[in-house]
Amino acid sequence: MFDASPLTDLRDDLADPAMVPDAIARTAIVSRLDDIIAAISGADRALDKLPRADIAEAARLTANAYYIGGRSWRRQLAESDIPAATLMAVHEESTRAIEPMVRELERLLVAANHTTIRRDGELEFVITCAVCGGEAVTFSRARAHTDSPIQLVVSSLSPVTVFRPIAGPRMKDLVSLLERGNAGAVIAHLKETQPGGCDAHCPTCDRVYCRTHYAVEAQWSGSWHEATHATCPVGHDHEVD
């Protein structure tokens, strides 16, 4: 399924000092293209695996490919002396190369959606990942201090806002929905009532993914956090915070 030749040809062209005179930029772009080729090739092998496709591994690798070629790298390239046409060619060829894997992964995920609500002990609920059934969002009842009221602490994909506490009536409403086991209702409630919504939910493909199956990129300007974006394994990007 994966024809690496357009990307390898582009990589070889960019390895020529006449194309990219700056040695540091040339080494960086060639190395990054090698990493993208390896990730897409690995996803292709995972989807071709017999007796059945390894969906979890394919999704991990497509997410990794999106991370490798993501916003941070594109910003770094844009600030370099590499011509804009060359940068566009890198982006277009990478996107074209991964598209067949994404289409097949999307087809398989329709039938293999593992998202559900699982109860772990007395104090915790989990919304599971559509790809692997692992933890995508956790809900833990805890106290900030020994004399504080109980809060429901919700996990986040964000490296800045790692957990989001919910207390009072909103917490009671959310626990009631969790106990009913309706993941869609829980996600809708979080989006309606919480500033951070449910960041593990991809609004485009309407699935929940764990951190392993997202490409999560935090953008910084010095010590200032500008934004965090998450790209799901089939290429949909949304802002986390």
0.85 exceeded by pTM:
yes
Last residue of a domain, one of 111, 134, 168: 111
Domain that holds residue 28: 5-111
| Residues 205, 123 share a domain | yes
Angle between helices 23-47 and 5-14 (to 10 degrees): 170
Query: pLDDT tens-digit profile of 39-88?
Result: 999 999 999 999 999 999 999 999 999 999 887 777 777 777 777 777 78
Q: What is the pLDDT of residue 1?
A: 67
Query: pLDDT tens-digit profile of 25-38?
Result: 888 889 989 999 99
| Residues 54, 130 share a domain | no
